[in-house]
Amino acid sequence: MASIRISDLSKIYPGPRPVRALDQVDLDVAEGEFIALLGPSGCGKSTLLNILAGFEPLTEGSVLFDGERIGKAGPDRGVVFQEAALFPWLTVFENVTFGPRVQGVSKNVYDAAAREILALVGLADFAGSYPSQLSGGMRQRVGIARVLVMKPRALLMDEPFGALDAQTRLTMQELLLEVWQRLKVTVVFVTHDIDEAILLADRVCVMSARPARIARQIPIALERPRSIENLLSPEFSAYKADIMHEMRTAHGQGLVAAE
Ligand code: ADP
Ligand code: MG
């Protein structure tokens, strides 16, 4: 059974001038799969992710999560945005354990889980630091650790590395590959960066111009485990050429969605 099954999903933002953001989107995501949703700004990526997260109601169609209709946001779906909204007055450790503490998880359980996750994201030595003492990449690692500690069944990521400099971004992509390789959690990853989509995903879903549909799905057969070295391979370039062509077809020469 697909862990996420999106059928005939449409979204219209109501208002004096209603905006049709999604048009009959169909997409199945298998358990443990890593999916990239790729498309330029404004095409409807965040809308789709926010519906999966339970932040936005859908207009038509259905979304099943492990066979059940998705309800409101919950810890089973961990969401990571471009900026991790951390509590500045709490340490890294306190930020990461905030969720389990609120949920009433016992201290010895969440303590051990948090230590393990912090080690996994390379922050073991920064448990006592405050967000203001961290770089942007490190804050994003805390953001990822904070959702992973809740043991989500799916990780929903909306351009999570979009605000980072190029070098940090590569480091974070490798970190995410390692984390996913270890935990095998289902990931839906939104990006407008073709390289990032190919490097990370099992399948790249190219979205059409708004109202978005899935224009094409491209399985990425690059061997795993992957690293940024994969960016240099001829197979990678072949995928890139194919996807660039698809993006041009779907969005025009400028790669900008029509407003
Ligand atoms: P992306 O994440 O691909 O940049 P979005 O999903 O944010 O795209 O937006 C898709 C379209 O829906 C855009 O035209 C945007 O202006 C519109 N939109 C997004 N959120 C709202 C909202 N809350 N109300 C009305 N229109 C919205
Ligand atoms: Mg967006």
Distances (CA, A) of 105 to 23, 66, 86, 98, 147: 41, 24, 20, 10, 15
The boundaries of the domain holding residue 147 are 86-151
Domains: count for the chain: 2
> Domain ends where: 125, 151, 177?
151
Q: Is 234's pLDDT higher than 90?
A: yes
120/137 same-domain check: yes
**Residue 169 forms part of a structural domain:** yes
Look at residue 253 in the predicted model and tell me its pLDDT: 59
210/231 same-domain check: yes
**Measured in angstroms, how far is the CA atom of residue 127 from the centroid of ligand 1?**
36
> Domain ends where: 151, 172, 201?
151
**Average pLDDT for 69-85:** 92
pLDDT digits (tens, 9 = 90+) for 30-44: 999 999 999 989 999
* Choice among 65-69, 134-138, 195-199, 254-258 with the minimum mean pLDDT: 254-258
Q: Is 95 in the pocket of ligand 1 (CB under 6 A)?
A: no
Q: Is 45 in the pocket of ligand 1 (CB under 6 A)?
A: yes
> Domain ends where: 123, 151, 179?
151
**Measured in angstroms, how far is the CA atom of residue 217 from the centroid of ligand 2?**
19
CATH number at residue 166: 3.40.50.300
180/52 same-domain check: yes
Q: Check residue 184 and give left, alpha or beta (phi > 0: left; psi -120 to 50: alpha).
A: left
Q: Is 203's pLDDT higher than 80?
A: yes
Look at residue 213 in the predicted model and tell me its pLDDT: 94
Q: Is 259's pLDDT higher than 60?
A: no
140/246 same-domain check: no
208/243 same-domain check: yes
